[in-house]
């Protein structure tokens, strides 16, 4: 099993873009043709899952990875969680790497259980290993013990983690900008860098299997984070619907244009709502998603790579 | 629908204890008679669920509430998540209040989805409302926007939240003790106090529906947190298997002995492993759990209440 960062870097090279599509399906925003025709939980889950599968089919030839956000499935209880795992398997079948956006974080003895359920090889022969993502997002809020069980699994099976360092929501500043000489997000960045610094965790590409979620804010502070974490792959939220441009994401990349992966969710999967695409592709929402994905992938490629 | 804090305070008065039992079943630690006889995921989930139901039956006459930790069910994928929700409903049927220990935290647009799936009244007529806990634990790591959707639901339906302020794992100190004049956990405590300060969120008992998870550390710093948060109910982890005594939990309570709820998980549900109970109750693991629960409830009652 190859190192996660090597696999992701290779996939980005093959697709010529470090763009990652986020699968965040909300029932109310599905294209008209994809909405459930019956009421009830099962029909809602089927609609969301079917939409997710179709989006994955459309974007699979264009991007190296998808990020599937667990919240959008947990909203449908265990039925939705089942759809989450089936979508992970579907994305794998389409040749994509998959990041499970679960942002779990709990004390050590509990973190082991979360790690088993979200990143480890299944302990049961009747569970398809393809249902488990290649990486997950984590909260580092409870310290190293909350992250270590995931990191151990990542090293053993060539998987990865992305620990939250700087969220895209400005409302999080009241937490992450705490501090005087050193800010809290800088402290967290240092911890995350340390958690992934062991040589055994670094791939051939020079990146660790312990990554960071780093939203682009002002260029200087982002560049400082990038310089402080030379071996840490960045998963970059905030592009598109959340307001950040590809240029704003530029400081998240290393000098050679690698080391960061930019996520867009709503601006791609709801392209049918965007007049730019809706007019051109009329009733073909898949074509709208495809074009939005190609534009996103090209935009990211413009600021990254050689 | 009455206010969550009033319901919890009333239940604690009725049971004469502020003890909360944590349902954290691990397959490897089930009593011999409860272990699965077949391999495979379904048999494992059935065993864990059956054990959880039995523990709930035993503790229901003794304590006001149970805390069910999602991690121990997510480790079995969607099958385990289904068991989590069924156990919530089972505990409700036994007259218990239920805290869902999910520690979710994500940016605002995503937090709304988590809140729908974990605390809101079901939007689907075919989902039993009894499956939804009365309160959930949250991470406040992403700021107010990550918590507000839950708080709005809590106010509307008489539910509650407990936001993590001070975890029981000493390994979390590298995060929570960050800072100079003010420490990070003190900053988080102030935020949580503010998020729950609105008059509309305070119950007749004087406590808010926005609580805090506060592990007992040295008595002085715990007393300072208690004084800084006069309207915040504390959910107190760390008792028992994690090392804290009831006396150590005393500073978490208000002067009048209310305002805190002490959780114990492993020391109660695995009483059959403890020589003190194992000898006395031989092969009757339920009797061991019952006695451990009574001892725990009495120990908490000793330091709280009038």
In this structure, what are the phi and psi dihedrals at residue B208, rounded to the nearest 5 degrees? -85, 160
Q: What percent of chain B has pLDDT over 90?
A: 93
pLDDT band at B305 (very low <50, low <70, confident <90, very high): low
**pLDDT tens, B81-136?**
999 999 999 999 999 999 999 999 999 889 999 999 999 999 999 999 999 999 99
Higher-scoring residue by pLDDT: B216, B241 = B216
Higher-scoring residue by pLDDT: B243, A191 = A191
Cβ pair B117:A80 closer than 8 A: yes
Looking at chain B, how many residues does it have? 306
Query: By three-state DSSP, how is residue B136 classified?
Result: strand
Structural element, H or E, at residue B233: none
Instruction: Choose, out of B43, B84, B142, B153, the residue to mutate when testing the contact with A (most A CBs < 10 Å).
Output: B142
Instruction: Chain A: give the shortest CA distance to residue B286, in Å.
Output: 24
Residues of B in contact with A144 (CB under 8 A): 171, 174
Instruction: Chain B: give the shortest CA distance to residue A75, in Å.
Output: 4
How much is the pLDDT for A249?
A: 96
Looking at chain A, how many residues does it have? 306
> Torsion angle of alpha carbons B171, B176, B180, B186, nearest 10°?
-140
**Six token digits for residue A87:** 């979508």
User: Catalytic: B67?
Assistant: no
A9 CB-side CA count, 13 A: 25
Residues of A in contact with B71 (CB under 8 A): 104, 106, 110-111, 113-114, 117
Q: Which ipTM value was assigned to this complex? A: 0.97
What residues of chain A, 163 to 222, have a C-beta less than 8 Å from chain B?
164, 167-169, 171-176, 178-181, 184, 187-188, 191
Instruction: Chain B: give the shortest CA distance to residue A143, in Å.
Output: 4
Q: What percent of chain B has pLDDT over 70?
A: 99
Give the DSSP per-residue string, B257-293. S-SEEEEE-HHHHTGGGSHHHHHHHTT-HHHHHHHHH
How much is the pLDDT for A186?
A: 96
Give the DSSP per-residue string, chain A. ---HHHHHHHHHHHHT--EEEEE---GGGS-GGGS-SS-SHHHHHHHHHHHHHHHHHHHTTT-SEEEEETHHHHTTHHHHHHHHHHHHHHHHHTT-EEEEEEEE---HHHHHHHHHHHTSPPSSTTS-GGGS-SEEEE--TT-HHHHHHHHHHHHHHT-EEEEEEE-S-GGGHHHHT--SSS-HHHHHHHHHHHHT-SGGGB-TTS-BSEEEEE---SHHHHHHHHHH-TTPPEEE--BGGGSB-HHHHGGGS-TTS-SEEEEE-HHHHTGGGSHHHHHHHTT-HHHHHHHHHHHHHHHHHHHS--
Which CATH number fits the domain that encloses residue A22?
3.20.20.70
Residues of A in contact with B77 (CB under 8 A): 81-82, 85, 117, 127, 131
- B210-214 and B160-166 strand pairing: parallel
For residue B105, which of A217, A176, A229, A189 has the smallest C-alpha distance?
Answer: A176
In this structure, what are the phi and psi dihedrals at residue B165, rounded to the nearest 5 degrees? -120, -45
pTM comes to 0.98
Instruction: Choose, out of B167, B180, B267, the residue to mutate when testing the contact with A (most A CBs < 10 Å).
Output: B167
How much is the pLDDT for B283?
A: 85
Query: Pick from B113, B124, B172: which is nearest to A40 by CB?
Result: B124
pLDDT band at B4 (very low <50, low <70, confident <90, very high): very high
Average pLDDT over residues B157-168: 96
Cβ pair A103:B104 closer than 8 A: yes
Distance CA A66, CA A56 (A): 8
> How many independent structural domains does chain A possess?
1
User: Can you list the positions of beta strands (E) in chain B?
Assistant: 19-23, 65-69, 97-104, 135-138, 160-166, 210-214, 234-236, 260-264
**pLDDT tens, A135-153?**
999 999 999 999 999 999 9
Interchain contact A114–B (C-beta under 8 A): yes
Instruction: Chain B: give the shortest CA distance to residue A305, in Å.
Output: 29
Q: Is B130 exposed, middle or buried (0-12, 13-18, 19+ CB in 10 A)?
A: middle
How much is the pLDDT for A306?
A: 42
Determine the structural domain holding residue B11 and report its residue range: 4-303
Beta bridge mates, A136:
A100, A161
How much is the pLDDT for B108?
A: 87
- List per-residue pLDDT tens for chain A, 306 residues long: 699 999 999 999 999 999 999 999 999 999 999 999 999 999 999 999 999 999 999 999 999 999 999 999 999 999 999 999 999 999 999 999 999 999 999 998 899 999 999 999 999 999 999 999 999 999 999 999 999 999 999 999 999 999 999 998 889 999 999 998 899 999 999 999 999 999 999 999 999 999 999 999 999 999 999 999 999 999 999 898 788 899 999 999 999 999 999 999 999 999 999 999 999 998 899 999 999 999 999 999 999 864
Interchain contact A116–B (C-beta under 8 A): yes
Interchain contact A72–B (C-beta under 8 A): yes
- Asked if the model's pLDDT at residue B1 lies above 80, the reply is no
Q: Widest CA span of chain A, in angstroms?
A: 57
Average pLDDT over residues B138-147: 96
Residues of A in contact with B80 (CB under 8 A): 117
How much is the pLDDT for B119?
A: 98
Query: Pick from A143, A169, A171: which is nearest to B169 by CB?
Result: A143
How much is the pLDDT for B306?
A: 42
């Amino acid at each position: 099993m190859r190192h996660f960062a090597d696999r992701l870097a290779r996939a980005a090279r093959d697709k010529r873009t470090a763009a990652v599509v986020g699968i965040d399906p909300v029932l109310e925003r599905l294209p008209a043709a994809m909405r459930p025709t019956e009421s009830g939980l099962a029909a809602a889950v089927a609609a969301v899952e079917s939409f997710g599968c179709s989006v994955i089919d459309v974007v699979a030839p264009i991007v190296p990875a998808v990020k599937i956000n667990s919240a959008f499935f947990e909203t449908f209880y265990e039925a939705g969680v089942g759809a989450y795992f089936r979508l992970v398997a579907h994305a794998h079948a389409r040749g994509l790497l998959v990041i499970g956006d679960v942002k779990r974080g709990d004390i050590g003895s509990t973190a082991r259980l979360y790690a088993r359920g979200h990143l480890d090889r299944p302990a049961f022969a009747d569970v398809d290993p393809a249902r488990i993502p290649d990486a997950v997002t984590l909260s580092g809020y409870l310290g190293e013990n909350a992250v270590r069980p995931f990191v151990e699994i990542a090293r053993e099976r060539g998987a990865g983690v992305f620990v939250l360092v700087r969220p895209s929501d400005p409302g999080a500043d009241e937490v992450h900008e705490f501090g005087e000489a050193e800010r809290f997000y800088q402290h967290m960045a240092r911890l995350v860098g340390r958690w992934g610094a062991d040589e055994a965790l670094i791939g051939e590409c020079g990146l660790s299997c312990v990554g960071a979620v780093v939203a682009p804010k002002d260029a200087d502070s982002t560049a400082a984070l990038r310089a402080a974490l030379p071996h840490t792959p960045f998963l970059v939220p905030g592009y598109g619907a959340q307001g950040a441009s590809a240029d704003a994401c530029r400081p998240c990349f290393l000098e050679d244009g690698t080391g960061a992966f930019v996520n867009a969710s709503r601006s791609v999967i709801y392209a049918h709502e965007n007049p730019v695409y809706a007019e051109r592709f009329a009733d073909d929402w898949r074509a709208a998603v495809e074009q939005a994905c190609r534009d996103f992938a090209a935009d990211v490629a413009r600021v990254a790579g050689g």
